[in-house]
Structure 1
Amino acid sequence: MNTRLLMILRVTVATPRSIGAVPHGTRRTVPITGGDFEGPRLRGSVLPEGSADWLLLRADGVLELDLRATLRTDDGGLIAMRSFGLRHGPPEVIEALARGEAVDPAAYYFRTTPRFETSHPACAFLNHLITVATGDRRAEGPIYTIHELL
């Protein structure tokens, strides 16, 4: 399977809000406060309005990720992004991440499947892509390296 770099997406986040115990685990929302993205064909910023990551911590320790964000390209185009994924790893690594410590991304599993929607002509190619991403959780927020499947 061949891939090509689409973008590096850096997201900044606020303090998580706990919704609490729900039927399938513990739900939290993490408001997105901003960020930026850059790739060979596009670059821009992450808009905070309406952007958040809906997290579900399952009983088996796996964190389900449901990120929804609005991106704005440098030339003014708007892109709706949804990304579903999983994050898990050894307990000591997950605890270090929770404390905001820098952890080698190879020490844990953090994968997502971003999808994009846009009406912006210069970015219309995004409507036709399947993408995969690896994540790197930092104290200020995650960094996603997003590749398109060719």
Structure 2
Amino acid sequence: MPLESLPVEFLFTMTANVSAPTMIQGGPQGSRLIVSVPAGTFEGPKLRGTVVPHSGGDWVTLRPDGSMKLDVRLTLQTDDGAHILVTYTGIGARAADGSTKVYSTPLFETGAEKYAWLNTVQAVGIGSTGPNGVTYEVYALRA
């Protein structure tokens, strides 16, 4: 029987600031916006810290229907010094109120024993863009 809802566990809220974009217009797959992430933070019940400055970015494809396809790589540094690579794709679209809603599917990689549990997590992120970047609520899918 199909699920009525998905079981999730809240991981953290992440705010990522972005630099001014570089635009590549009229490419074969659409126009591209490339943005660096100079700063950011994340905080949740099991981990918190900062986005390592300029450790990644977003390679956005602007699609003909007005939506955008996300392609993101970031490095997080926990408050106790561990590094976690985050990669995700997703979709962004304008909402009726004029804001841009973004939905993503983060995956994590770390060698830090304390956070190794993240290596087997499929996460979902639900967020929105603001004047300086994007804020996500990130959840782990649970069985």
Instruction: Provide the TM-score with structure 2 as the length reference.
Output: 0.90
Instruction: Give the aligned length.
Output: 137
1:117 alignment counterpart: 109
Cα distance in 1 for partners of 2:23, 2:66 equals 16
90 and 125 in structure 1: CA distance in 2 versus 1, 3 angstrom threshold: closer
Give the 5 Å matches for 1:1-150. Answer: 1-89=6-94, 93=98, 103=99, 109-150=101-142
Shift of 1:89: 2.5
**Letter of the structure 1 residue corresponding to residue 39 of structure 2:** G
Which structure 2 segments of 5+ residues have no match?
Answer: 1-5
SS of residue paired to 2:106: strand
What do the CA deviations read for 1:65-121 (whole angstroms, capped 9, x no partner)?
11110000011100000111101135872xxxxxxxxx4xxxx54210011100011
Identity of aligned residues (%): 35
116 and 71 in structure 1: CA distance in 2 versus 1, 3 angstrom threshold: same
Instruction: Provide the TM-score with structure 1 as the length reference.
Output: 0.86
The structure with the largest helix share of the pair is 1
Superposition CA RMSD, Å: 1.5
Cα distance in 1 for partners of 2:66, 2:107 equals 25
Which structure 1 segments of 5+ residues have no match?
Answer: 94-102
Moved over 4 A (4+): none
Shift of 1:128: 0.5
Cα distance in 2 for partners of 1:91, 1:6 equals 28
Cα distance in 2 for partners of 1:92, 1:3 equals 27
What do the CA deviations read for 1:26-49 (whole angstroms, capped 9, x no partner)?
011011011110011000100123
122 and 32 in structure 1: CA distance in 2 versus 1, 3 angstrom threshold: same
Cα distance in 2 for partners of 1:91, 1:134 equals 16
Cα distance in 2 for partners of 1:26, 1:36 equals 29
What do the CA deviations read for 1:119-147 (whole angstroms, capped 9, x no partner)?
01111011000110101211111001000
